[in-house]
Amino acid sequence: MTRMGKIFVLYGPSASGKTEIQKQITSGRLPRIITATTRAPRDNEIDGEHYIFMSKSEFRSQIENGRFIEWTEYGNELYGTLKDSAENIVSGNGSANIILDFAGVRALKRLYADTFAIFIGANIESIERRLLLRAGTDEELNGRLTRARELELSPEYLALADAVVWNDDGADFEETLAKVQGIISSSM
């Protein structure tokens, strides 16, 4: 394994609060690893800041050349973590954060000894309520709820975590955030 700084991975079901937590913990001391995708940029998204946007042929070429730590296909688009994106930030003693799915966490833990996975969870009622507030089709909603029930809230999924934080409706987000920040501070 390569000697690098610590990578803090947030993972868990859709609508658990991972992205909002990541926005709050990302700083000069703990930058976000920028991941790659083939999906089109959304309004206000900047290439190299929010994602590394690339064509499907370019993405597949990077896969073939072994440039990804991990990658996945979701909704007919490709998403992945380029080795260079992670190594440029955490080489030496630097640390960084990233949001990944289960397979991504496993792949990262295999490659980098100093990976610390934080599961951000919420009960299914909270997830459903939050997903209903998002724009999306019934098919997308049902797919995300099924994935949460059958996979993302399972004991196997949680077993990969080095720490678990619950962010159910009714929880004080500032307290949830403070728990995550405390876990990171004590693990750096």
CA 101 to chain centre: 6
Q: Decide if pLDDT at 2 tops 60.
A: no
Domain-embedded: residue 1: no
pLDDT at 4: 63
Question: Percentage of the chain surpassing pLDDT 70?
Answer: 97
CB distance 114 to 9 below 8 Å: no
Beta bridge partners of 47: 51
| Per-residue pLDDT at 60 | 97
Q: Is the pTM of this model over 0.85?
A: yes
Residue 49 belongs to a domain: yes
Q: Which two tokens stand for residue 95?
A: 């640390």
**163 in a structural domain:** yes
* Mean pLDDT within 14-25: 92
Structural domain includes residue 2: no
Q: How many whole angstroms from its chain centre is CA 153? A: 16
Q: Tell me the per-residue pLDDT of 67-90, one tens digit each, with 9 for 90 and over.
A: 999 999 887 899 999 999 888 877
- Asked whether residue 48 is assigned to any structural domain, the reply reads yes
Q: Is residue 70 domain-resident?
A: yes
Beta strands in the chain (DSSP E): 7-11, 36-37, 52-53, 68-74, 77-82, 96-99, 115-121, 163-166
> Beta 163-166 vs 52-53: how paired, if at all?
unpaired
Contact residues for 173 (Cβ-Cβ < 8 A; gap 6+): 17, 20, 167
Q: CB 62: neighbour CB atoms within 10 A?
A: 20
Q: What is the pLDDT of residue 18?
A: 94
Q: In terms of pLDDT, which residue wins out, 85 or 53?
A: 53
Question: Would you say residue 54 has pLDDT above 90?
Answer: yes
Question: Does any domain span residue 112?
Answer: yes
pLDDT tens figures, 123-177: 999 988 898 888 778 888 888 888 898 888 899 999 999 999 999 998 899 999 9
Range 25-52 average pLDDT: 91
Q: How far apart are CA 55 and CA 78, in angstroms?
A: 9
Q: How far is CA 168 from CA 126, 136, 154, 159, in A?
A: 6, 21, 16, 19
Domain count, the chain: 1
Query: What is the pLDDT averaged over residues 18-30?
Result: 90
Task: Output the domain CATH number for residue 66.
Answer: 3.40.50.300
pLDDT band, very low/low/confident/very high, at 1 (cuts 50, 70, 90): very low
Q: Structural domain of residue 150, as residue ranges?
A: 7-187
